[in-house]
Amino acid sequence: MRVLGTNAPGLRSRCDTEAEQEREKALARQAKQFTVNALRSASGIELRYFERGSVYHVLAKVYVNGESLGHRMRQAGLAIPY
């Protein structure tokens, strides 16, 4: 599943240089850990506005304790709007 409206770095980088690939992978690991921590510590998780994306990904807005996970990721510098 992917967070609707949010684009975070990927572990399977498509950057041109090895240095850029490693940088993107490091950011991807940070974004993943941020998400894991947010979900594990949540008292409530809500999925809204489901869509089907490319390659059969399921997209949804994710709310953790009533706050948008995508917004929190963007505020932390770990994602951009999509």
Would you say domain 2-81 falls under CATH 2.40.50.90? Answer: yes
| Two structure tokens written together for 72 | 């929190």
- Amino acid, single-letter form, for residue 5: G
Give the H/E segment covering residue 2: strand 2-3
Tell me the pLDDT band of 12, cut-offs 50, 70 and 90. Answer: confident
List, for residues 41-80, the tens digit of each pLDDT value.
999 999 999 888 777 889 999 999 999 999 999 999 999 9
Residues near 30 by beta carbon (within 8 Å), at least 6 away in sequence:
78
pTM for the full model?
0.85
Per-residue pLDDT tens for 29-39?
Answer: 999 999 999 99
What integer pLDDT is reported at residue 82 of this predicted model?
82
pLDDT of residue 7: 87
pLDDT at 17: 85
For position 54, what pLDDT does the model report? Answer: 78
